[in-house]
Amino acid sequence: MQADIICVGNEILTGLVENSNAGYLARKLWSLGISVRSSAVVADQAEAIGEALNTALEYSEIVILTGGLGPTDDDLSREAVAAHLGLPLVEDKEAVRKLEAFFAGRGYEMPASNRRQACVIEGGILLPNRLGTAPGMLIRLEGRMIILLPGPPNEMTSMFEESVLPALREEKKDTVAMAKTLKCVGIGESLLEQKIKALGSWEYPEISYVARGYEVFLQLKANGNPEQAKAAIRGAEERLRAALGDNIYGSDDDTLTSVVADMLVENNLTLALAESCSGGLLSDTITDVPGSSRFYRGGIVAYSRFAKTELLGVDEDLINREGLVSEATAKAMALAARMKFNSQVGIGITGVAGPQSDEDNRPPGLVYTAVALENEVYCHELSLLGGRRAVKERASQLTLDLLRRCLL
Amino acid sequence: MQADIICVGNEILTGLVENSNAGYLARKLWSLGISVRSSAVVADQAEAIGEALNTALEYSEIVILTGGLGPTDDDLSREAVAAHLGLPLVEDKEAVRKLEAFFAGRGYEMPASNRRQACVIEGGILLPNRLGTAPGMLIRLEGRMIILLPGPPNEMTSMFEESVLPALREEKKDTVAMAKTLKCVGIGESLLEQKIKALGSWEYPEISYVARGYEVFLQLKANGNPEQAKAAIRGAEERLRAALGDNIYGSDDDTLTSVVADMLVENNLTLALAESCSGGLLSDTITDVPGSSRFYRGGIVAYSRFAKTELLGVDEDLINREGLVSEATAKAMALAARMKFNSQVGIGITGVAGPQSDEDNRPPGLVYTAVALENEVYCHELSLLGGRRAVKERASQLTLDLLRRCLL
């Protein structure tokens, strides 16, 4: 079973609004074992919508359109799809009533233009919208499903969860494909591929690789009857975990940060940071985890020599002797973070974010990251590729992995 | 002049990787006055790439593909495009030499699989890649331009800036549509629209509005001959600047951060932060600016009460009396940041990121942000909407704006 996604909207085509709907739908469909053949963005024009729908229906059993369901003249999805299918739009009495109630509840009379939103393509059903005025629509036609969803991400996702997901699950109940993502870090994509190929054939379940910075995601997917697919995924996961060990840090919705946060909470440990080249990014990442104040004491972004010596209290002689970017300085920063914040674990990161080399002529991408635990300080030297932002991201990512391995 | 964008990659179709390339290219093309007809994502399959290219060439003079230029078997863009155009791939001696040098510089021998990356479609030119091994490609054919770019966003954007942008500018020099974006902050979208409509008609140049967090971008666009279009944009910009004053913080590639960074450097001022609810995000944003070490001394992420009292030295009685989330605490944090880092400007941010209320029952989204200058401390109370991440982002954004207004 295959799907096409069509996102309608000039604001996406001009790049002013990020297209988060396409990624969300792709992830949801993938987790149901439905592959996305193509995902397109087209303008608010009847012709463009019709053409995209035409191509999509040629290839896919499921076509999901988002956007263009609003009340204004440039919201054309309903009409364009109806015209393309050669079916009339019919007003739905119940939907008119709901719209009027929606406006009445806010103390307004319904503008005439909103009446269009109560129309459904003949033979289709309307999907309720808890968060806005535009209902969605689901049309079954010659073995295909055409689904229209509103453009605003919050309305789209809640409608998808509440109305579309159950319909797709029902549709796929006899042929469900199981899917699972295993997430790896600390091993390069080629070495990983080599190890996995050595385990034997990967036709069932299928496996695919996605590199993300220094992480690699393994996507497993098995079609067929549910029991068989589940067993195949389970078996594959066991083989992979045996072969890759600690390089697998989690699965599906886990992130490196959420996994490390859970480990700290489980072990009743507190954390403090001293960041230089990563500039606060690691702190930002950690504080994105809800409840991080349970374990995170805080951090110092020591972006100047002054901050390193005066605020962190790193020995000036040590910096002069070993350099601002050195193993010794990273370790001293980790210990200082631990002490200053009265924390059990301390982290120190120092390096050259680029684009230029530093004053000691150390190259962009050279980073030292250190973790101070109760009795020991671990340090890694990293040579990171990419621009300034990539160096910051990868330094943060690999520091989290070093911490994870220390805690294992 | 019209363009199609084709992003190649299974990782985007499964939703594992956000498709930031499409948005970036859309914005760049828009700023050149080139409209994007459609932006598609397709799988790493020769057939899918060929079909998408086929449709794109039917409608558009410019087709940009990203992704699929790597060295492995599932990197198929080069071959698929060559096959579709019926042109051979030819090895480029100079490119082979460069690739070998790239690997030699890292102490490796070049793997045989990378040799494919030195091939160019007959009649095309290779575009250098400063940040990776995959060169891009530009092919001119029957009045059309086909451009292949690597998938990793940092490689793609640097290649676009360095090689593609100049080529497109040259291509469009006689028929240029002028476009300009003015960026506003500190004024709501509806009030902004009202003020702008009061200025008169906006048919030439056209104007459109895009809200992004607490910023609004005004996009001006004028077709026609270059002189006329330039004059129309210039006139409109003058009218808008007169009406909106300080609410316009910059244009086009400016960001709030880059504008504030420039102001600090021009005024020879140094900056230090004390962040609580924003968790290091503001520090991360500031250190994304190359050269930020010229003015940025560093920051303290005071995520615990201990960090606020012991490390920043905020008076415990004041916290007990006024609360951790209060104007008084934000101001004390700003003053402490200034002093601790021996800096001229200090910033303090304290608030409730959510999702829950804090222990004093203050609601998520309540944030106090303070700026300490030489003789004065300014503070704003903010009530921010959205989830945890949105609160962090908006708190950082509005703090930068407060600093900007203080420096004006």
> pLDDT digit string (tens) for A293-335?
999 999 999 999 999 999 999 999 999 999 999 999 999 999 9
Instruction: Say how far apart CA B259 and CA B263 lie, in whole Å.
Output: 6
From the list A14, A212, A292, the residue facing B30 with the nearest CB is A14
CATH 3.30.70.2860 in chain B is located at: 178-251
> Which residue in A has a C-alpha nearest to residue B210's C-alpha?
A16
CATH class of B178-251: alpha beta
From chain A, the residues in CB contact with B215 under 8 A are none
Task: Specify the 3-state DSSP secondary structure of B265.
Answer: helix
pLDDT digits (tens, 9 = 90+) for A201-242: 888 898 888 777 788 889 898 877 878 888 999 999 999 999
Instruction: Say how far apart CA B315 and CA B303 lie, in whole Å.
Output: 16
pLDDT band of residue A166 (cuts 50, 70, 90) is very high
| CA B349 centroid distance within chain | 24
Greater pLDDT, A18 or A241? A241
- B70/chain A closest Cα distance in angstroms: 12
From chain B, the residues in CB contact with A30 under 8 A are 14-15
Report H helices in A207-343: 226-244, 256-266, 281-287, 305-306, 316-322, 327-340
From chain A, the residues in CB contact with B207 under 8 A are none
From chain A, the residues in CB contact with B292 under 8 A are 279, 303
Query: Is it the case that residue A366 has pLDDT exceeding 70?
Result: yes
From chain A, the residues in CB contact with B396 under 8 A are none
From the list A39, A287, A304, the residue facing B280 with the nearest CB is A287
Report residue A41: phi and psi, to 5°: -115, 130
Query: Is it the case that residue A176 has pLDDT exceeding 70?
Result: no
> Hey, is the C-beta of B48 within 8 angstroms of any chain A C-beta?
yes
- A366/chain B closest Cα distance in angstroms: 13
Third-level CATH fold of A259-407:
Maf protein (3.90.950)
CB within 8 Å of A402: residues ≥ 6 apart: A369, A371, A378, A380
Query: Is it the case that residue A284 has pLDDT exceeding 90?
Result: yes
From chain A, the residues in CB contact with B210 under 8 A are 11, 14, 16-17
Digitized pLDDT (tens) for each residue of chain B, 408 residues in all: 899 999 999 889 988 788 999 999 998 998 888 889 999 999 999 999 999 999 999 999 999 999 999 887 788 999 999 999 999 999 999 999 988 888 887 777 788 888 888 999 999 999 999 888 889 999 999 999 999 999 989 899 999 999 999 999 888 776 656 788 899 998 877 778 888 989 988 888 888 877 677 788 888 888 778 788 889 999 999 999 999 999 999 998 899 999 999 999 999 999 999 999 999 999 999 999 999 999 999 999 999 999 999 999 999 999 999 999 999 999 999 999 999 999 999 999 999 998 888 888 899 999 999 999 988 999 999 988 777 888 999 999 999 999 999 999
> Which residue in B has a C-alpha nearest to residue A30's C-alpha?
B14
Q: Which of residues 65-94 of A touch B (CB under 8 A)?
A: none
From the list B13, B278, B304, the residue facing A36 with the nearest CB is B13
DSSP secondary structure code for residue A280 in this structure: T
From chain B, the residues in CB contact with A387 under 8 A are 131, 154, 158
Report H helices in B128-225: 153-159, 165-171, 189-197
From chain A, the residues in CB contact with B22 under 8 A are 15, 19, 41
Interface test with A, best of B10, B14, B66, B292 (most A CBs within 10 A): B14
CB contact under 8 A, B286 and A298: no
Element (H, E) at B339: helix B327-340
From chain B, the residues in CB contact with A293 under 8 A are 303-304
> Hey, is the C-beta of B108 within 8 angstroms of any chain A C-beta?
no
Closest CA relative to residue B340, chosen from B293, B376, B380, B372: B372
CATH 3.90.950.20 in chain A is located at: 259-407
Instruction: Say how far apart CA A398 and CA B288 lie, in whole Å.
Output: 19
pLDDT band of residue A174 (cuts 50, 70, 90) is low
> Hey, is the C-beta of A305 within 8 angstroms of any chain B C-beta?
no
Confidence at residue B371, expressed as pLDDT on a 0 to 100 scale: 98
From the list B18, B219, B284, the residue facing A23 with the nearest CB is B18
From chain B, the residues in CB contact with A282 under 8 A are 280
Residues in a beta bridge with A372: A346, A377
Task: Please give the structure tokens belonging to residue A46.
Answer: 């009847």
Instruction: Say how far apart CA B271 and CA B327 lie, in whole Å.
Output: 20
Task: Specify the 3-state DSSP secondary structure of B126.
Answer: strand
Count chain A–chain B contacts defined by CB atoms under 8 A.
Answer: 246
From the list B26, B38, B279, the residue facing A283 with the nearest CB is B279
CATH class of B256-407: alpha beta
Q: How many helices (H) and strands (E) does chain A have?
A: 15, 17
> Which residue in B has a C-alpha nearest to residue A388's C-alpha?
B288
CATH class of A2-171: alpha beta
H, E, C per residue of A56-93 = HHHHCCEEEEECCCCCCCCCCHHHHHHHHHCCCEEECH
Instruction: Say how far apart CA B73 and CA B15 lie, in whole Å.
Output: 21
Sequential DSSP letters for A4-65: EEEEE-HHHHTTSS--HHHHHHHHHHHHTTPEEEEEEEE-S-HHHHHHHHHHHHHH-SEEEE
- B304/chain A closest Cα distance in angstroms: 5
Q: B31, B179 in Cβ contact below 8 A?
A: yes
> How many percent of chain A have pLDDT more than 90?
66
Q: A337, A347 in Cβ contact below 8 A?
A: yes
Instruction: Say how far apart CA A240 and CA B94 lie, in whole Å.
Output: 42
Closest CA relative to residue B283, chosen from A222, A376, A301, A318: A301
Q: Which of residues 185-214 of A touch B (CB under 8 A)?
A: 208, 210, 212
Closest CA relative to residue A366, chosen from A313, A330, A315, A318: A330
Task: Please give the structure tokens belonging to residue B68.
Answer: 């699929």
> Hey, is the C-beta of B257 within 8 angstroms of any chain A C-beta?
no
- Mean local confidence (pLDDT), A119-127: 95
Report H helices in B60-126: 77-85, 93-105
CATH 3.90.950.20 in chain B is located at: 256-407
